[in-house]
Amino acid sequence: MGHTDKSNWELIKNGIFSENTIFRMAISLCPSIAVTNSLKNGFFMGVSVIFVQTMVNLTVSLIRGFVHPKIRIPIFMMIIAGYVSIIDMTMAAFARPVYKQIGLYIQLIVAFASIFARAEVFAVKNKLVPSVCDGLGMGIGFFLAMIVISFFRELLGKGALWGFPIVEGNPLLIMVLPAGGFFAVGLLMGFFNWMDAKIAERKSAGQAVEKQAA
């Protein structure tokens, strides 16, 4: 990918739908299961990733002229680690209860393949504004995936949302257990694939009809 010709809006949409980190690219999966047992945890994780991804893209794009290609990997790593430390300490100070549960995974954002990959394939070759939009799109895509997964897991597993009970009765305990995370992601992925196939089918059917009409 060289300089991009896409508009900023297209870049954001690209991150949310066609290159969604979790459901499409299937990278950075660890937190998608580890922290999605409640909506709150998923929300905080998603927000942290939006912040880190956007800031990393911004910084890498700013310094892209100065960094020698041979030492770019350690430099990018340090930039990412710096921003992760910021969010790590901020959360430790202001969101203590959540931090206790997901702190380890916040620290491990530093090893996210998706963040590094966007810096490497996109931000380093593009101007400031497109890079920020790309980072924002990728971050929001990840955020939405976290929200969807944790919504289902908390609702089914605890009968609650954001800690407030919603459904009475016996919840499916398995959904908040580790195994439930795998099931939830697997089923959602399958569902999105199925939807994709349906949409493609409808499109090709529509084209066939147009051809006949012509």
Contact positions vs another protein (CB under 8 A): 26-31, 33-34, 73-74, 77-78, 81-82, 84-85, 88-89, 104, 107-108, 110-113, 116, 174, 177-183, 185-187, 189-191, 193-194, 197
For another protein, the closer CB: 29 or 144:
29
From the CB of 47, what's the least distance to another protein, in Å?
Answer: 18
For another protein, the closer CB: 111 or 161:
111
From the CB of 214, what's the least distance to another protein, in Å?
Answer: 31
From the CB of 15, what's the least distance to another protein, in Å?
Answer: 18
Residue 110, token pair as written in the block: 């530093």
For another protein, the closer CB: 14 or 32:
32
Report how far residue 19's alpha carbon sits from residue 204's, in angstroms, rounded to the nearest whole number.
22
From the CB of 102, what's the least distance to another protein, in Å?
Answer: 11
